[in-house]
């Protein structure tokens, strides 16, 4: 192979990045000089905005989004988030047994049978890792007890009123995301929370149930037969959305300690203080059902989707961009029996949008590129990108760059050829343009749960984000760059 072609191969490796999708690029295995030539071609990709069916997306996450705001800057209307969650019960959870003043010889920690006096507090605690909007805007969050078990329906159009009653209010709390009242907010141990007081009767009900029916606390499944879960919503204020990582129902109580010998309980009226403070928590986790309800301004979304000189990405449950890949043009250009596709690069350019204030929406940080017809199952089955028909990338320099989607292109080529052969065999006629239109890819805003650069989970992005992309039916086409080798 001559120096010119070798240099082009090296440029390809650098340009497309060193990843696990370099396919057939193997310099050490290339034929001799002049037996192979390397080529680079660009193909037009047309895109258009699309909205999710019925304005809903799969919304089972480990993050609860609660709050509301009105977008007066980009014309997307309003956003309102709330969530329903079941609570996890540690297997075999127990509360201390009731203290009997006539028998103080049982060597275990105990609790007064007068629960009205023993229970210190019952709270629902929302621990949030971040928020969107104005940090000092006063908001009010309300928590209701569910009266129906959550079904396995995890889309953003879930109807909370089917699972709770306004009569089952547990508590409400006015807050601001900055949490200015917390004296520890500038310390390293600070964790932002909203603590919502709940009537002590709830704690009394749970403890007595634990004493009388311990079978209800064997695991989360049995616990849900007794306590079905919580609905968390914002019913006052606008301008802030919390991203809640943990939702806990916490019961704090006073109990009796063992004495210094460790085998006899001290009486509660002893001269020595025999009280201790204990607590039990029931938390939301990925193992239990949790679903977000998102309400958006559908009329404004429709207006944006209909614009044709560019496309949009808008989360949550808003707009994605779909692209028809020029598979037919690639097949026409290449001799599939002799040519080998080495790398394919696709870039979505984002238009810069100036923020008029610090509370403006930002562009989605990460996106998923996937075949549109596979997107729903991808989220429902909690799949991970396979670098064949699904990929993720993050925004950099106002671009979403997919450095090498060669396997996606070769998968499409094979399926198109198979579909063409099947149509000709059945005599149904072959319409390549219709096949391409029926098999687009979609680029969707996502939230990536990562550990040490490894992706653990990919979820729909439920944060308020927005970006305008180059493209559209009447806008400029995107470039799909293909590097391939020709053999003599």
Closest CA to 211 of 115, 88, 96: 96
Token couple for 269: 């009226």
Asked if 302 contacts 50 with a C-beta cutoff of 8 angstroms, the reply is no
Q: Are residues 372 and 417 part of one domain?
A: yes
Q: Are residues 81 and 44 part of one domain?
A: no
Q: Are residues 268 and 185 part of one domain?
A: yes
**Whole-structure pTM value:** 0.84
Check residue 386 and give left, alpha or beta (phi > 0: left; psi -120 to 50: alpha): alpha
Q: Are residues 390 and 244 part of one domain?
A: no
Token couple for 89: 């019960």
Residue 356 within any structural domain of the chain: yes
Residue 192 within any structural domain of the chain: yes
Q: Are residues 125 and 9 part of one domain?
A: no
Q: Are residues 257 and 134 part of one domain?
A: yes
pLDDT score recorded for residue 336: 80
Closest CA to 177 of 315, 362, 358: 358
pLDDT score recorded for residue 36: 82
Q: Are residues 93 and 178 part of one domain?
A: yes
Residue 293 within any structural domain of the chain: no
Q: Are residues 216 and 99 part of one domain?
A: yes
Token couple for 120: 């210190």
Counted domains in the chain: 2
pLDDT score recorded for residue 419: 94
Q: Which domain holds residue 408?
A: 3-55+298-487
Q: What is the number of other CB atoms lying within 10 angstroms of the CB of residue 434?
A: 10
pLDDT score recorded for residue 51: 93
Residue 367 is given by DSSP the state E
pLDDT score recorded for residue 25: 42
pLDDT score recorded for residue 168: 96
Q: Which residues are bridge partners to 339 per DSSP?
A: 486
Question: If you count DSSP H runs as helices and E runs as strands, how many of each does the chain have, helices first?
Answer: 9, 23
Residues of the chain with pLDDT below 70 are 1-34, 99-110, 180-189, 256-275, 354-358
Q: Are residues 249 and 314 part of one domain?
A: no
Residue 251 within any structural domain of the chain: yes
pLDDT score recorded for residue 110: 63
Reported as a single tens digit per residue, the pLDDT across 129-139 is 899 988 888 99
Q: Are residues 449 and 366 part of one domain?
A: yes
């Amino acid at each position: 192979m001559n120096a010119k072609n070798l240099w082009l191969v090296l440029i390809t490796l650098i340009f497309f990045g060193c990843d696990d999708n370099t396919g057939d690029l193997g310099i050490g295995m290339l034929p001799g000089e002049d037996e192979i030539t390397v080529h680079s071609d660009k193909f037009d990709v047309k895109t258009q905005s699309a909205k999710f069916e019925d304005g809903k997306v799969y919304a089972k996450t480990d993050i609860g989004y609660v709050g509301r705001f009105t977008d007066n800057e980009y014309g997307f209307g309003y956003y309102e988030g709330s969530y329903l969650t079941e609570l996890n019960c540690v297997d075999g959870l127990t509360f201390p047994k009731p203290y009997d003043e006539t028998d103080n010889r049982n060597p275990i920690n105990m609790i007064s049978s007068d629960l009205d006096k023993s229970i210190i507090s019952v709270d629902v605690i929302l621990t949030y890792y971040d928020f969107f909007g104005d940090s000092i805007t006063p908001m009010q969050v309300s928590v209701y007890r569910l009266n129906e078990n959550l079904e396995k329906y995890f889309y953003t159009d879930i109807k909370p009123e089917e699972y709770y009653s306004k009569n089952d209010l547990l508590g409400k709390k006015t807050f601001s995301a900055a949490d200015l009242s917390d004296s520890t907010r500038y310390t390293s141990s600070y964790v932002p929370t909203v603590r919502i007081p709940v009537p002590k009767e709830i704690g009394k009900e749970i403890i007595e149930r634990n004493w009388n029916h311990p079978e209800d606390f064997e695991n989360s499944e049995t616990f849900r037969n007794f306590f079905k879960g919580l609905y968390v919503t914002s019913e006052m204020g606008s301008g802030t959305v919390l991203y809640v990582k943990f939702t806990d129902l916490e019961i704090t109580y006073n109990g009796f300690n063992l004495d210094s010998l460790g085998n006899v309980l001290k009486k509660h009226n002893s001269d020595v203080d025999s009280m201790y403070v204990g607590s039990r928590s029931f938390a939301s986790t990925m193992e239990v059902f949790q679903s977000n309800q998102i309400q958006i301004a559908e009329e404004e979304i429709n207006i944006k989707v209909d614009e044709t000189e560019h496309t949009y990405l808008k989360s949550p449950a808003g707009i994605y961009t779909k692209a028809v890949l020029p598979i037919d043009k690639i097949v026409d250009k290449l001799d599939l029996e002799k040519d080998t596709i080495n790398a394919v690069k696709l870039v979505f350019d984002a238009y810069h949008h100036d923020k008029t204030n610090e509370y403006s929406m930002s562009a989605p940080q990460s996106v998923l590129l996937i075949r549109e017809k596979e997107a729903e199952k991808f989220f429902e089955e909690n799949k991970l990108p396979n670098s064949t028909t699904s990929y993720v990338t993050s925004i950099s320099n106002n671009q979403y760059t997919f450095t090498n989607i060669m396997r996606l292109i070769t998968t499409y080529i094979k399926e198109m050829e198979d579909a063409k052969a099947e149509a000709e065999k059945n005599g149904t006629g072959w319409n390549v343009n219709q096949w391409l239109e029926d098999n687009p890819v979609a680029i969707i805003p996502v939230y990536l749960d990562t550990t040490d650069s490894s992706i653990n989970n990919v979820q729909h992005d439920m944060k308020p984000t927005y970006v305008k992309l180059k493209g559209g039916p009447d806008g400029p086409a995107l470039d799909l760059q293909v590097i391939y080798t020709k053999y003599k």
